[in-house]
Amino acid sequence: MHYKEKLQNAIEWITGSDRLVIFTGAGVSTESGLPDYRGPDGVWTRRDKGLPPPRSKSMSEIRPNRTHYSIVELVKMGKLDFLISQNVDNLHLASGIPQEMIGELHGNHALMKCLECDNRLSFTEAGWDKSICGEGYRTHKLGKGQPVCPKCKGRLMSSVVNFGDPMPEKEIRISMERSKTCDVFMVIGSSLVVTPAANMPSLALDNGAKLIIINQGETPYDDVAHLRFWENAGMVMEDIVNGLNRIVT
pLDDT tens sequence across 205-239? 999 999 999 999 999 999 999 999 999 999 999 99
| Domains of the chain, start order | 3-106+167-248 (3.40.50.1220), 110-159 (no CATH)
Under the banding of pLDDT at 50, 70 and 90, the label for residue 57 is low
Q: What is the DSSP letter of 206?
A: H
Which residues are part of the catalytic machinery?
106
Residues 126-157: pLDDT tens digits? 999 998 899 999 888 887 889 999 999 999 99
Mean pLDDT of 13-23: 97
Check residue 164 and give its pLDDT: 84
Of 240, 42, 84, 81, nearest in space to 170 by CA: 84
Q: How far apart are CA 242 and CA 248, in angstroms?
A: 10
For the entire predicted model, the pTM comes to 0.89
pLDDT (0 to 100) of residue 80? 98
47 pLDDT more than 60: no
Q: What is the pLDDT of residue 144?
A: 80
Q: What is the residue-averaged pLDDT of the chain?
A: 90
Count CB-CB contacts under 10 A for residue 19. 16
Strands 111-114, 156-158: parallel, antiparallel or unpaired by DSSP?
Answer: antiparallel
pLDDT of residue 163: 84
247 pLDDT higher than 60: yes
Q: Note whether 211 and 192 are within 8 A (CB).
A: no
Least confident among 36-45, 101-110, 204-213, 240-249: 36-45
Q: How confident is the model at residue 36 (pLDDT cuts 50, 70, 90)?
A: low
State the pLDDT confidence band at 39, using cuts at 50, 70 and 90.
low
Would you give the DSSP letter of residue 143?
P
